[in-house]
Amino acid sequence: MMKKERVYDNESGISVIIGTLLLILVVLVGVLAIATIVATTGNGVAKQMNTQQEGAVGAIPLSIYGSDDMNALTTDIAQAYMSVNPSVHVTSGSIAPDGIYSSLISGTSDIGAVSGKISYPDLSNNPNIQTTQVGEGLVVIIVNKTNPITTHASYPALCWTFSNPSNPNAISGAIPITRSDDAGIVDEFYNIFLGEPTLLNVGVPVNGDVAVIQGVSTTPNAIGFANYGDVENAILSSNENVEIIGFDDQIQRYFQNNMTYQNLTVAAKDNYLSTAVHANGQPVWTGNQTMVPQYNMSLFYPLYYVTKQAPNSAESGFIQYAKSPGSLPQFQQAGDFSIAGF
């Protein structure tokens, strides 16, 4: 009787079984390898995405608050700066000038934006304050375009019109639209241009450049003062019914048809070199002072960024960018003048 042959005694049967097991093993190893690759790649992508998200969320915060006259400029510079420095997130806004230093001291803001001259009492009360001038602003005289009281005036007549319009030496029939709020441009106009020690609520007092421009635009024979950039933007974007007038002062003649941005930049440079001083009172211009035109262009005013103490890397980075040629388009857009363009 023939014995049944057991499978495990048959070499060919064993070979088939071993081959099948090896094939299953190869498949399992391949599947595990693919799963490992996918998992590793997925983790890498997830990690990269988390890093990018953390970079956006964890950006270094930098707050800049100060003069209303510098808010548009600061906002534009901040946007440009963040586009090339995404690791820093800048917020900005306006606060009253007398609150700038207390905001820095309390840590509410990192950088203060100051328009107009910085007084020595401000510096002596805050001895660690660091100041950096980044540019110059300009006040212009405007009248109602449809019914202009004048297109050219003398310096003395303007002074009387804005300080005491009922004086016989004032521009006859002029209705001054003036600012009664506290701002660097207001101090510059009243204290430096008019020579008045305090702000005067004469004519029709309003708050802010926008209100002055709108008041002059809608009032026949009105005359007012406002930031050059605000006026230009109001004329171009809002069709405000105002125009800039020329005037004569003791030294420099201002003419309406010569007040292009390029010409004003030259005048701003002359004023900067002639009058700018460091916080300690020393002149910015270190060359021969006779080389600088001694213009009495008192409607130009300095623009500063200030910090509580020596600026840290984030603060310094923004301030240095504001002083660099990279910020020139933002200054021109705001109607201000960068020292980088001097």
Q: What is the pLDDT of residues 219-231, one digit of tens each?
A: 999 999 999 999 9
Query: Cα(266)–Cα(43) distance, rounded to whole angstroms?
Result: 58
| Mean pLDDT of the 126-154 span | 91
- SS3 (DSSP) at 296: coil
| pLDDT number for residue 288 | 58
Specify the pLDDT at position 340. 94
- At 254 the pLDDT is 56
Tens digits of residue pLDDT in 76-103: 999 999 999 999 999 999 988 888 988 9
Check if the beta carbon of residue 182 is closer than 8 Å to that of residue 173.
no
- DSSP letters for 42-53: HHHHHHHHHHHH
Q: What is the mean pLDDT of the chain?
A: 79
**Which pLDDT does position 200 carry in this prediction?**
74
pLDDT single digits (tens) 308-342:
999 999 999 999 999 999 999 999 999 999 999 98
The reported pLDDT for the residue numbered 286 is 64
Is the pLDDT reported for residue 42 higher than 50?
no
Across the range 244-256, mean pLDDT stands at 66
| Stretch 243-266: mean pLDDT | 73
Q: In this predicted model, what pLDDT tens digit does every residue of 182-220 receive, in sequence order?
A: 777 887 788 878 888 777 778 999 988 999 999 999 999
Which pLDDT does position 32 carry in this prediction? Answer: 41
| Residues 114-135 pLDDT 10s | 988 777 677 777 778 898 999 9
- C-alpha 122/C-alpha 51 separation (Å) is 44
Instruction: Say which residue, 90 or 155, is predicted with more confidence.
Output: 90
Percent of the chain clearing pLDDT 70 (strictly above): 73
pLDDT higher for 137 or 191? 137
Least confidently predicted of 141-145, 184-188, 303-307:
184-188
For residues 53 and 203, which has the higher predicted lDDT (pLDDT)?
A: 203
pTM of the model: 0.75
Closest CA to 302 of 53, 119, 33: 119
Radius of gyration of the chain (CA): 34
200 three-state secondary structure:
coil
Which three-class secondary structure state does DSSP give residue 227? strand
| Phi, psi for 231 (deg, rounded to 5) | -65, -50
Cα distance from N-terminal residue to C-terminal residue, the chain: 117
Measured distance CA(327)–CA(307) in Å, rounded: 20
When pLDDT is cut at 50, 70 and 90, the band that residue 292 belongs to is low
CA distances from 209 to 131, 173, 175, 226, 233 (A): 25, 22, 16, 6, 12
Q: Give the pLDDT band of residue 268 (cuts 50, 70, 90).
A: confident
pLDDT at 307 over 90: yes
pLDDT at 252 > cutoff 70: no
What is the pLDDT, as a whole number, of residue 236? 86
**Cα–Cα distance for residue pair 188/185, rounded to 1 Å:** 5
Position 197 scores a pLDDT of 75
Q: Can you name the residues that pair with 132 across neighbouring β-strands?
A: 305
pLDDT above 90 as % of the chain? 43
| Domain boundaries along the sequence of the chain | 7-56, 138-263
Residue 3 CB partners (closer than 8 Å, separation 6+): none
With residue 242 as reference, give the H or E element that holds it.
Answer: strand 242-244
pLDDT of residue 113: 95
**For residue 166, what is the DSSP state?**
T
**In CATH, what is the architecture of 138-263?**
3-Layer(aba) Sandwich (3.40)
Dump strand ranges (E) for 60-187: 60-66, 88-94, 111-115, 130-144, 152-154, 175-179
